Homo-oligomer: A and B are copies of this chain.
Amino acid sequence: MGQTVIGVLHPGEMGSVVAARAKEAGNRVLWTSEGRREETRRRAEAAGLEDAGSLGDLAAASDVILSVCPPEAALDQARAVAATGFDRVYVDGNAVSPGTSRKIAEVIEGAGATFVDGGIIGPPPRKAGTTRLYASGPGASQVKALFGDSALSVIVLDAPAGAASAVKMAYASWTKGTSALILSVRALAAIEGVEDALLAEWQISQPQLPKRAEDAAAGSAPKAWRFVGEMEEIAATFAAAGLPDGFHLAAAEVWRRLSSYKDVERPSVADVLEVLARTRIG
């Protein structure tokens, strides 16, 4: 068997690092410059990926296509690939609801390809042990071999498509939901003029919370723009399960208000709270 060819759509902050791990594991890894920004080109070149040219060229050359994109683009991405006639293995690695994942599966299987449901938990995998790609559905076992002993661990679930997405949704519903909540709590205290009292109480009885709020500001606000769609997918997941969707519709609103922090390096909590308190959207 020759070298496996993997097409990565697209080498963003996560996708470029995942692609680099696939390359290290011995695969040939392609990307497509068609319609992409200069920043994506820079990331792809840094990861040593080959530009296949158009999406059609990438699809024609790839054994496996791995989609890593904002959740709101995942279904359109699958449709574009299906339109090329791609009929091998398509891995959706995006933060989408099991319902969206099943829609993507229909599109992909309708084109004659094998669909793998995936969900990535952890930061871009630069060192071992930080990050896992969950995979489920009929083609899931084929994904494990693609990453060998690289820093991206693949966990194959013995479960249908949708399960890997469900793990991702449940996981992120806590981590990103609570980050949105803690910033809202701090904003409330600021608006009500009781920040000092709340922080003093936290120091007594919840000593981990002051740092947690600072981390949410510094670490999450710069990614807020792409958390909005993820929170909406999580809300849809809760609603489909008959659980309240309000936590994550509220979290989506918080991240929407902070979306102007895209690419700002480690904003301060004071700055983020001010924007959260004064921005009214929708």
Which residues of A pack against B, CB within 8 Å? 98, 121-122, 132, 134, 155, 157, 159, 162-163, 166-167, 169-171, 173-175, 177-178, 181-182, 184-185, 187-189, 191-194, 197-198, 201-202, 204-206, 209, 237-238, 241-247, 249-251, 253-254, 276-277, 280
A103 to chain B, nearest CB (A): 16
A155 CB to nearest chain B CB (Å): 7
Instruction: Assess the A205–B121 pair: CB atoms within 8 A.
Output: yes
14 contacts between A and B (CB under 8 A): A121-B201, A132-B204, A157-B194, A159-B193, A163-B197, A166-B192, A170-B192, A174-B182, A188-B237, A188-B241, A188-B243, A192-B241, A244-B253, A244-B254
Main secondary structure of the interface of A (DSSP, over half): helix
Closest residue on chain B to residue A122 by CB atoms: B205
Pick from A121, A159, A247 the residue with the most CB of B within 10 Å. A247
Selected contact of A178 from candidates B134, B181, B250, CB within 8 Å: B181
A250 partner residues in chain B, CB cutoff 8 A: 244-247, 250
A170 to chain B: which residues have CB within 8 Å? 185, 188-189, 192, 194, 198
Q: Which residues of B contact A253 (CB under 8 A)?
A: 244, 246
How far is B238's CA from A251's CA once the two chains are assembled, in angstroms?
13
Of the candidates B167, B188, B189, B243, which one forms a contact with A184 in the assembled complex, judged by CB atoms under 8 Å apart? Answer: B243
Q: How far is the CB of A183 from chain B (nearest CB, A)?
A: 10
Q: A157-B197, A242-B277 are in contact. Are A192 and B254 (CB under 8 A)?
A: no
What number of copies of this chain does the assembly contain? 2
Residue of B nearest to A129 (CB): B204
B contact residues around A242 at 8 Å (CB): 191, 277, 280
Residues of the B chain whose Cβ atoms lie less than 8 Å from the Cβ of A98: 192
**Which residues of chain B have C-beta atoms less than 8 A from A187's C-beta?**
241, 243
B174 x A181 contact (CB < 8 A): yes
A176 to B214, CA, bound (A): 21
Q: Which residues of B contact A134 (CB under 8 A)?
A: 197
